[in-house]
């Protein structure tokens, strides 16, 4: 098993940690920068999902991947070395995890329960100006093409996994916010990203999580499966959960339903 999710207590026990604040809200795009400015986990850098997504066109989803060089520049400006222990938190934390993990970062984790859990466990919050870092030269190769799937190839996969809520997946006549059209990709099964957690918001116990993921795959090898959501953000939660459970990394359809529905 490759542990992805880490508790606040586990994070506090680490000697040196680099935090990435990925606070984000689809209903309030100003929330993340505002919260980060007011306070953050010690030494955190900010990941702005809207800024670090690609250009939206009439043929893309809401959050396409950014140009690789743009993300690479952010990594260097943030001085995030591959040898660092990196912990992400916030609603876009899994997207940060996925973007770094698929570029070869092996020591990146997601803070279980996010900032709320950190504060509940008396973790310190840094206020004032965010810490600045000296830019580092970091060698990276763009390997996103190896782990992503383009729209025209999605239906060729043996298992298509929709990570949106049951309500959004099952809608047939009226779209559920934020989907502009109801429905799901033909043949897709539903594995809501929230189903990877218990009623208290903690990631499922390892054996239960693995069984849950394997039930969704129903015998299909993980590399023959593809996950999607509304715009390629929460599908990263299920991808992270599968890696955490030791199942492996599924392919990612980043365009997701917000791209797919433009072609139906």
Burial of 170 from C-beta contacts in 10 A (0-12 / 13-18 / 19+): middle
Residues in the chain: 264
In the prediction, which pLDDT does 174 show? Answer: 78
Block mean pLDDT (10 aa), the chain, length 264: 89 94 93 96 97 96 97 98 97 98 97 96 97 95 98 98 95 82 96 96 95 98 98 98 97 97 92
Phi, psi of 6 (to 5 degrees): -135, 135
How large is the angle between the packed helices 206-217 and 235-244, nearest 10 degrees? 120
How far is 252 from 228, CA to CA, in rounded Å?
6
Q: Tell me the sheet residues that pair with 252.
A: 148, 227
| pTM of the shown model | 0.96
Please answer whether residues 225 and 246 qualify as being in contact, where contact means their C-beta atoms are separated by less than 8 angstroms. no
**How far lies 39's CA from each of 48, 85, 108, 213, in Å?**
15, 21, 22, 36
Please report the pLDDT score of residue 1 as a whole number. Answer: 46
Of the candidates 11, 41, 48, the residue with the CA atom closest to the CA atom of residue 130: 41
Q: Please check whether residue 82 is in contact with residue 138, taking contact to mean a CB–CB distance below 8 angstroms.
A: yes
- Predicted pLDDT of residue 239: 98
Tokens in use for 222?
A: 């993980």
């Amino acid at each position: 098993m490759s542990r992805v999710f880490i508790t606040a207590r586990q994070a506090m026990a680490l000697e040196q940690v680099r935090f990435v604040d990925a606070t984000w809200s689809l209903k309030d795009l100003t929330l993340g920068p505002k919260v980060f400015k007011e306070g953050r986990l010690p030494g955190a850098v900010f990941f702005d999902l809207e800024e670090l997504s690609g250009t939206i066109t009439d043929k893309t989803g809401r959050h396409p991947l950014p140009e690789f060089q743009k993300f690479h520049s952010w990594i260097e400006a943030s001085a995030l070395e591959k040898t660092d222990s990196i912990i992400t938190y916030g609603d876009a934390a899994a997207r940060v995890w996925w973007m770094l993990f698929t570029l070869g970062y092996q020591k990146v984790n997601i803070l279980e329960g996010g900032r709320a859990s950190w504060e509940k466990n008396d973790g310190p919050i840094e206020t004032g100006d965010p810490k600045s870092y000296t830019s580092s030269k970091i060698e990276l190769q763009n390997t996103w093409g190896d782990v992503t799937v383009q729209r025209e190839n999605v239906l060729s996969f043996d298992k298509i996994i929709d990570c949106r809520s049951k309500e959004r997946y099952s809608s047939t006549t009226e779209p559920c916010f934020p989907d502009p059209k109801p429905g799901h990709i033909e043949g897709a099964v539903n594995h809501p990203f929230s189903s990877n957690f218990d009623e208290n918001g903690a990631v499922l116990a390892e054996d239960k999580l693995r069984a849950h993921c394997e039930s969704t795959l129903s015998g299909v090898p993980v590399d023959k499966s593809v996950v999607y959501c509304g715009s390629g953000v929460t599908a990263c939660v299920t991808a992270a959960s599968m890696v955490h459970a030791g199942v492996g990394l599924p392919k990612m359809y980043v365009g997701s339903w917000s791209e797919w529905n433009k072609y139906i």
